[in-house]
Amino acid sequence: MSKYDAIANLHAPSALIGVEIIDGIGILTLKNRRKLNALRRDMMRRLTESLESFAEDKIRVVILRAEAGMDVWSSGHDITELPRPGQDPLPYADPLEETLRAIRAYPGPVIAMVHGSVWGGAFDMVLSCDIVIADESASFAITPVNLGLPYNTTGLLHFVGRLRENLVKELFFTATPIEAKKAAEYGVINHLVPSAQLETHTMEIARQMASKAPLAMAAIKEQLRVISDYQPIAAQVFERLQDLRRKAYESADYREGIAAFLEKRQPAFKGE
Amino acid sequence: MSKYDAIANLHAPSALIGVEIIDGIGILTLKNRRKLNALRRDMMRRLTESLESFAEDKIRVVILRAEAGMDVWSSGHDITELPRPGQDPLPYADPLEETLRAIRAYPGPVIAMVHGSVWGGAFDMVLSCDIVIADESASFAITPVNLGLPYNTTGLLHFVGRLRENLVKELFFTATPIEAKKAAEYGVINHLVPSAQLETHTMEIARQMASKAPLAMAAIKEQLRVISDYQPIAAQVFERLQDLRRKAYESADYREGIAAFLEKRQPAFKGE
Amino acid sequence: MSKYDAIANLHAPSALIGVEIIDGIGILTLKNRRKLNALRRDMMRRLTESLESFAEDKIRVVILRAEAGMDVWSSGHDITELPRPGQDPLPYADPLEETLRAIRAYPGPVIAMVHGSVWGGAFDMVLSCDIVIADESASFAITPVNLGLPYNTTGLLHFVGRLRENLVKELFFTATPIEAKKAAEYGVINHLVPSAQLETHTMEIARQMASKAPLAMAAIKEQLRVISDYQPIAAQVFERLQDLRRKAYESADYREGIAAFLEKRQPAFKGE
Amino acid sequence: MSKYDAIANLHAPSALIGVEIIDGIGILTLKNRRKLNALRRDMMRRLTESLESFAEDKIRVVILRAEAGMDVWSSGHDITELPRPGQDPLPYADPLEETLRAIRAYPGPVIAMVHGSVWGGAFDMVLSCDIVIADESASFAITPVNLGLPYNTTGLLHFVGRLRENLVKELFFTATPIEAKKAAEYGVINHLVPSAQLETHTMEIARQMASKAPLAMAAIKEQLRVISDYQPIAAQVFERLQDLRRKAYESADYREGIAAFLEKRQPAFKGE
Amino acid sequence: MSKYDAIANLHAPSALIGVEIIDGIGILTLKNRRKLNALRRDMMRRLTESLESFAEDKIRVVILRAEAGMDVWSSGHDITELPRPGQDPLPYADPLEETLRAIRAYPGPVIAMVHGSVWGGAFDMVLSCDIVIADESASFAITPVNLGLPYNTTGLLHFVGRLRENLVKELFFTATPIEAKKAAEYGVINHLVPSAQLETHTMEIARQMASKAPLAMAAIKEQLRVISDYQPIAAQVFERLQDLRRKAYESADYREGIAAFLEKRQPAFKGE
Amino acid sequence: MSKYDAIANLHAPSALIGVEIIDGIGILTLKNRRKLNALRRDMMRRLTESLESFAEDKIRVVILRAEAGMDVWSSGHDITELPRPGQDPLPYADPLEETLRAIRAYPGPVIAMVHGSVWGGAFDMVLSCDIVIADESASFAITPVNLGLPYNTTGLLHFVGRLRENLVKELFFTATPIEAKKAAEYGVINHLVPSAQLETHTMEIARQMASKAPLAMAAIKEQLRVISDYQPIAAQVFERLQDLRRKAYESADYREGIAAFLEKRQPAFKGE
Ligand code: NI
Ligand code: NI
Ligand code: NI
């Protein structure tokens, strides 16, 4: 398993992730405790590379988790890494976007195992996993309107495939976390289990899936991905939507949102 | 605020709606008690105009409600205003359709605050709001099959984005109201709150949303609208669907449905 | 009603289905007890023909059920009838696929009344009915990954219209049955009723629907079918998906899956 | 061949068409000389039925022509048969629309053999044939703007698949005929041949096509039909287009257009 | 006609356009001789406003032309006005893009009357007119690869609707002008007429179109616009295309292209 | 340039292709004279690999040609390599299909330089190049109906983007070659030049394109590819088309077509 060690050592300390294979199940562990598992570029690149290695090694099922003992599953984007003002903050080539696509295109199930709070882009990452197993400490918030950051269409599609439209809107427009019980009721979580059983229950389901026919699973997953990710939109309409997004990320409000966040104060938005 | 008074006085008494701005939140109140808040053309035009004014004034969040003390939130279409037999009863330029589009395209959240029963087109209007807050008196029914009225594709898309397909079908094929608790379970309602807290709870959520970045919210809402309203359908298939609809609104059954409604008796449909 | 008797006598004994009309409601009863109502070709052809006859006779509502007293509603595909290795096991012209389309295109509601367990393709058939009424004995499993059978896009769309994406994936990737209560919570079942009331409750809802305007219902149902079944996919992407499916049904794993099933042992999949 | 004679005798004299099979090629001849082969409903129904019979008899190639000696191939719609004012003049169920679809869906090539002038809907019919062979007397005009008749989307798609957009617009906005040479240059005509060779050349190509593999041809033709006829359009956009069309066919201008045509005078359009 | 004079005086001298109505035909004349009719922002805004005024006044047909005596119809974008490096040079809200949409959505025919050479974005503008009438001095080039400017999807769709794919590619990849005769052959030009007859011929066709039913023409034009401009593309694919475009407009090559143009030398591109 | 030599030596003799770079232009030469440049699997794999190498080396423009002195540019598919009866003869993973996609996705122009006759799949390959330069010896035929081979949707889209629908149908339904002059008129060929100038003219255009901005060209080409190749089709419709294709490639006629070809006699098709 030296290949995975190699990946582990390749990157800056902030990229801290664990890469293991247990009982044939690939396990990716976010373990940058100091940065609350912020989805930093180097960490994202390591996740993407690890998924590629797993795929080459025909690992049938992957579990994505945070290190044991953390109360924050992930704090989402690292705000200090967002592109400079006036640039699209969620471009196609963003390392997080690449990781989301790598999870969605992985030729086997990827299970999010969630203990603790999940913020912003990390919620998108959890929804990009095929199923979600969580304990009662889990909570989920999607927070771009706190910053003035205009989310992108594919990101919104990730939510729309999972949650009713009015719930998607409530989550996005209030930026308020939902607790585990509500999240289970709303369908974010497949299995809500007691904390003590989270690991065993997740491994059990992973092993069950790993015993099924991999090529059939891969074909089914990929068809579902196309159905959900490839929603067609008229070119002209899409260019209009990009314009709305651009107005937002070029606005004074977006600068104010970032500044307020860094200064740990409430932002004062003007709609400009 | 004289502009809003002007809108209020511009129209026939049957258009009775209230237009207020409280704490920066726009509040639209249906108050035609005598007509049970039927969605009459003049009322719809006023709603559309009010939303346009709110947008000009950069009102960030809108609440749509019925007047306090009414047991019917809205009785839906005013049957006496439906187009003459043989004409499409739900054309694109219908004032209700225009209001639905105005709500869906409003560049900020529109909250439906529901006390009492919601019938027919009014259910479509509630679903066109971004989120729904209701108390235990709320109930919802979609009733076109009582009249023989063939619903339109965009109207159906409004339900499909909110409710599972089999529930949409049950609601449409039985025309039976669902009670508040069921509606919350099914996902029609975001928050089900006790009657006494309906107003304060709604205002609280409205204020919370009003504090978020407006341009980002507008870009997110518009992207979600395109994803849900712009479902592409092959031209030839669409023309075939129009033909099915035409057969229904040109049928004897449709005339029977309208007649029975006006005579307050059960219709006898023949499938012709 | 001799026409329906004629259909009944036309086919081999394994096609055993009952065809009745009660109170104007068409009732189709799966009654091949010995074969656990496996969805054999001749049975499927009879179902399709019966639906065509019902449509000609303007039967407004149809109930699809298993014979009273059976613990298995249907065991799904008859594995012995699957096409020879290397051929697409779910082609467009497959008799089951034809029945699914006949149910979905029937110009009036089709109600699945479910007592007992529902397996594989039979789950797809239940979801293709407009609404589902079940008792506490009902359970549902979708099992292609036990065989290595790559499900088809339209089949997946049937699930996607009814269930959240992550639940669809859990069902497909674990092939584990969900019990009636869970199924109701997840939205598979519209009404979960005590066993003793299953028949009367179903007939009541059927009669209620039969009293509504048939042409309007037909137009509404057909529009919903187009919205859900006609999801557009880029031609090139679709051909790529077929290739993934082909790799699966030409694989050694698929042969192993079928063999293991027939030998009643666990399959050992290699991903090849 | 009595079946075809039966079809021939089934209809009113105005339906005059000839139905023959020569060398295995089906030949449909428009022969209502008195009405200049106007596309009357009864004639259209006979064409559709004849194509169905040909398909049953596995006729591999069909030729559609006017009777020898006529200077008008077809004068297009019979204006006196257009639906009453205020109704869509080109509904899906219109007999001409049905014939167009029958030609386009015929499981083998349909060749338009054109001598003389082709007007209005007849131009649409010629473009719906798979290839066009014409002599120098041929001319083509599409004339709905002379009447104020708003053409339908599928009809426009028939032109768009054949001609460059700016030529489609010139033809529609001027309603002026183009002569054979221009039509060949623009691509309306596949082969422009001297009058004396029109029949022999057409039969030669028909025979050549009839010698090719029919199932492969049918699969190719149907794929091309889907590519060209099934252009997806967002539901909401389509409903808006219907509204524009409705405004036109409910307008005073449309009544004026029809009146002027019947009174053989220039219409005076007001844009209302 | 003072309204049009008002528009004329509203703007900076560089906006020089003529706005006239002759025989009910609206005539827009590009007359910034000093700047070779470069498509400067202020000129574009005036064109857009003039089209809006024409539409309000129910002008049925519009002619777009350059001032008599100019050898350059338009030199295209004013390079000095392109957005700063790193910004999308062809955003949705660009004044030229707005003019293109205003021409395409004008509720009546817009005729491009072309004498002289047409460069870059001006070629897009000519193709956005409904028909093109030109004399032998006309030539057309599309030049973004001289600058390294990544054209946008809607712009490409304007070409694809008019010209065969391989010709579109030749024009874009060589940036070489095609002469009038070739352009007529390729279908860019509807009518190629001698210089001396250009004005009279154009006016004749304009008058002919102006005599036709305006509502029917508007409905036909708008349907054709939707068919051609609303090509659906999967959201994820579109975001990938934007990324390719972004790489180009953020590249050193793009800066080199602009610099070389301003310094009137050959650019040296590195593909970086 | 040893890498290219390596590719050249890697394969069986039947893979004979030449790979050169002249003046920065990549040149791929089909040179299997004995097999008339049939599109054999090993040759296709080498073409695909060579294009990948060119892309890595940032070769800006590629020319695809046959060896000097050959009268056949390519005879198309090698019939002896078609999949066994009952299998899709044009699957997504077919080496020719891979080469077509590699040409279409190449991040720079690919020019087909054509001397001699082009048959079957080779015609598809020529149309997949961005532009076509040919001399008067060139001819083009698309011949699947001679074999009974049902062409695939993406293949048909390659023709539809280049040629008017009725010409596509004529070519496919007659399987007759068109000569160079006709092909130029129809738009298959961009430049028809005398034999003696074919090479120099092609190199000249290639060099011109190579001097333009590569990133902008790549973005433009890829956008055009998506517009043309990603035509969305409803999943259910696509599965129906596959069924039509399957009926053809499982038919007796297809076996007869292959047999007749190998026995060098006329096939006798029965439509079965
Ligand atoms: Ni099955
Ligand atoms: Ni430009
Ligand atoms: Ni081939």
Question: How confident is the model over A41-94, as pLDDT tens digits?
Answer: 999 999 999 999 999 999 999 999 999 999 999 999 999 888 777 889 999 999
Write out chain C residues lying below 8 Å of E232, CB-based: 232
Question: In the structure, what pLDDT confidence band is assigned to residue B74 with cuts at 50, 70 and 90?
Answer: very high
Q: In Å, how far is F92's CA from the nearest CA of chain B?
A: 25
Ligand 2 midpoint to CA D213 (Å)? 49
Per CB distance under 8 Å, which residues of C are interface residues toward F? 86-88, 91-93, 152-154, 157, 229-240, 242-243, 246
Mean pLDDT of chain A: 94
Evaluate if residue F128 carries a pLDDT over 90: yes
Among all residues of chain F, which has the CA nearest to that of D61?
Answer: F173
pLDDT of the residue at C45: 96
CA distances E45 to E48, E98, E101, F75, F91, Å, are: 5, 8, 12, 56, 52
User: Can you name the CATH fold of F2-196+214-229?
Assistant: 2-enoyl-CoA Hydratase; Chain A, domain 1 (3.90.226)
Q: In Å, how far is E81's CA from the nearest CA of chain B?
A: 26
User: Mapped to the 3 state alphabet, what secondary structure does B143-171 carry?
Assistant: CHHHHCCCCCHHHHHHHHCCCCHHHHHHH
pLDDT of the residue at C72: 98
Say whether C121 is catalytic. Answer: yes
Ligand 2 midpoint to CA F224 (Å)? 17
Q: How is residue E211 written in tokens?
A: 């005599």
Q: In Å, how far is C242's CA from the nearest CA of chain D?
A: 16
- Residue E2 CB neighbours (<10 A): 7
Per CB distance under 8 Å, which residues of D are interface residues toward E? 144-151, 153, 156-157, 160, 164-170, 172-176, 231-234, 237, 241, 244-245, 247-248, 251, 253-254, 257, 266-267, 269, 271-272
Write out chain A residues lying below 8 Å of F232, CB-based: 232
- D151–E219 CB contact, under 8 Å: yes
pLDDT of the residue at A14: 60
Q: In Å, how far is D234's CA from the nearest CA of chain A?
A: 8
Q: In Å, how far is B98's CA from the nearest CA of chain F?
A: 30
Q: In Å, how far is C160's CA from the nearest CA of chain E?
A: 18
- A218–C244 CB contact, under 8 Å: yes
pLDDT tens-place string over residues B241-259: 999 999 999 999 999 999 9
Q: What's the rounded Cα separation, in Å, for the pair A258 and E107?
A: 45
CATH architecture for the domain at D2-195+213-229: Alpha-Beta Complex (3.90)
CATH superfamily membership of E2-229: 2-enoyl-CoA Hydratase; Chain A, domain 1 (3.90.226.10)
Ligand 3 midpoint to CA D109 (Å)? 21
Question: Mutating which of F143, F173, F182 best tests the D interface, going by the most D Cβ atoms within 10 A?
Answer: F173
What CATH number was assigned to the domain covering residues A2-195+214-229? 3.90.226.10
pLDDT averaged over 10-residue windows placed end to end, chain C, 272 residues: 57 77 97 95 96 98 97 95 85 96 98 98 98 98 97 95 94 97 94 98 98 97 94 91 95 95 95 93
Evaluate if residue F11 carries a pLDDT over 80: no
Single-letter code of the amino acid located at E241: L
pLDDT of the residue at F1: 44
pLDDT tens-place string over residues B109-119: 999 999 999 99
Ligand 1 midpoint to CA E1 (Å)? 73
A touches which chains (3+ CB pairs under 8 A)? B, C, D, E, F
Q: Which ligand is nearest to the CA of F81?
A: 3
Write out chain E residues lying below 8 Å of F25, CB-based: none
- D165–E161 CB contact, under 8 Å: yes
Could you give the 3-state DSSP secondary structure of residue F67? coil
CA F252, F257, F258, F260 torsion-angle sign: positive
DSSP class of residue B29 equals E
DSSP class of residue E268 equals -
By CB atoms closer than 10 A (0-12, 13-18, 19+), residue C105 is middle
- E215–D160 CB contact, under 8 Å: no
CA atoms within 13 A on the CB side of A177: 14
DSSP class of residue B90 equals S
pLDDT tens-place string over residues F53-73: 999 999 999 999 999 999 999
- C253–A213 CB contact, under 8 Å: yes
Say whether C106 is catalytic. Answer: no
Q: How far apart are the first and last CA of chain D?
A: 53
Q: What's the rounded Cα separation, in Å, for the pair F197 and F205?
A: 12
Contact F133, F233 (CB under 8 A): no
Contact C96, C77 (CB under 8 A): yes
- B92–D229 CB contact, under 8 Å: no
Q: Which ligand is nearest to the CA of C95?
A: 1
Count contacts between A and E (CB, < 8 Å): 72
Per CB distance under 8 Å, which residues of F are interface residues toward E? 58, 60, 109, 127, 130-132, 161-163, 187-188, 190, 205, 208-209, 211-224, 226-228, 230, 232
pLDDT of the residue at D85: 74
User: Could you say which residues of chain D have pLDDT below 70?
Assistant: 1-14
Q: Does domain B2-194+223-229 have CATH number 3.90.226.10?
A: yes
pLDDT tens-place string over residues E104-133: 999 999 999 999 999 999 999 999 999 999
pLDDT tens-place string over residues E55-64: 999 999 999 9
Exposure string for D192-214, b = 16+ CB within 10 A, e = fewer? bbeeeebbebbbebbeebbbbbb
Say whether D106 is catalytic. Answer: no
pLDDT tens-place string over residues F238-248: 999 999 999 99
Question: In the structure, what pLDDT confidence band is assigned to residue F5 with cuts at 50, 70 and 90?
Answer: low
Rg (CA), chain F: 18
- D238–B238 CB contact, under 8 Å: yes
Ligand 3 midpoint to CA F175 (Å)? 13
Q: How is residue C33 written in tokens?
A: 């007890």
Which member of D4, D106, D151, D249 is catalytic? D151
Evaluate if residue F13 carries a pLDDT over 70: no
pLDDT of the residue at E156: 97
pLDDT tens-place string over residues A108-143: 999 999 999 999 999 999 999 999 999 999 999 999
ipTM above 0.90, yes or no: yes
D touches which chains (3+ CB pairs under 8 A)? A, B, C, E, F
pLDDT of the residue at A1: 44
Q: Which of B229, B236, B243 sits opposite D229 (nearest CB)?
A: B236
Among all residues of chain C, which has the CA nearest to that of B149?
Answer: C216
pLDDT of the residue at A10: 53
Question: In the structure, what pLDDT confidence band is assigned to residue F83 with cuts at 50, 70 and 90?
Answer: confident
Per CB distance under 8 Å, which residues of F are interface residues toward D? 144-153, 156-157, 160, 164-170, 172-176, 231-234, 237, 241, 244-245, 247-248, 251, 253-254, 257, 266-267, 269, 271-272
**pLDDT, mean of residues E224-236:** 91
- D148–E216 CB contact, under 8 Å: yes
Which residues of A form the catalytic set? Answer: 77, 121, 151
Q: What's the rounded Cα separation, in Å, for the pair C29 and D88?
A: 44
